[in-house]
């Protein structure tokens, strides 16, 4: 089993990925700003979701990506759903006094 991923790691990776995709320098990308401010096309959305799925091992339909409209919101969602994180969160003894972890709700606002 791999180490759980963090929202910071996802945020950094996604910021770099979007910088490469859009040509916008990474230091100019605000992780709290709506993704649509980057001018991402629907084809690029497909590419982004495919790359996120491949990297983090979870299905990410485009509508779900749109429900988490910023890099930070999307990173939090991915972190909460990543298989490596789910496996460590649900292993016995991973939470003090609990045998299994409670499910966490999706974070974000409809886009």
pLDDT in tens, 15-68: 999 999 999 999 999 999 999 899 988 999 999 999 999 998 888 999 999 999
Helix (H) or strand (E) holding 56: helix 42-56
* Angstrom distance (rounded) from CA 69 to CA 103: 22
Model's pTM, two decimal places?
A: 0.71
| Tens-digit pLDDT profile for residues 68-110 | 999 999 999 999 987 767 555 444 333 333 333 333 334 444 4
What pLDDT, on the 0 to 100 scale, is given for residue 47? Answer: 93
Does the CA dihedral 35-66-59-50 come out positive or negative? negative
């Amino acid at each position: 089993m791999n180490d759980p991923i963090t929202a910071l790691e996802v945020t950094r990776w996604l910021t770099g990925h979007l910088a490469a995709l859009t040509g916008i320098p990474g230091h100019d990308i605000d992780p709290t700003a709506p993704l649509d401010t980057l001018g991402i096309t629907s084809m690029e959305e497909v590419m982004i979701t495919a790359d996120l799925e491949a990297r983090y091992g979870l299905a990410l339909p485009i509508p779900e990506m749109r429900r988490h409209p910023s890099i930070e919101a999307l990173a939090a969602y991915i972190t909460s759903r990543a298989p490596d994180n789910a496996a460590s969160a649900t292993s016995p003894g991973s939470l003090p006094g609990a045998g299994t972890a409670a499910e966490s709700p999706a974070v974000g606002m409809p886009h």
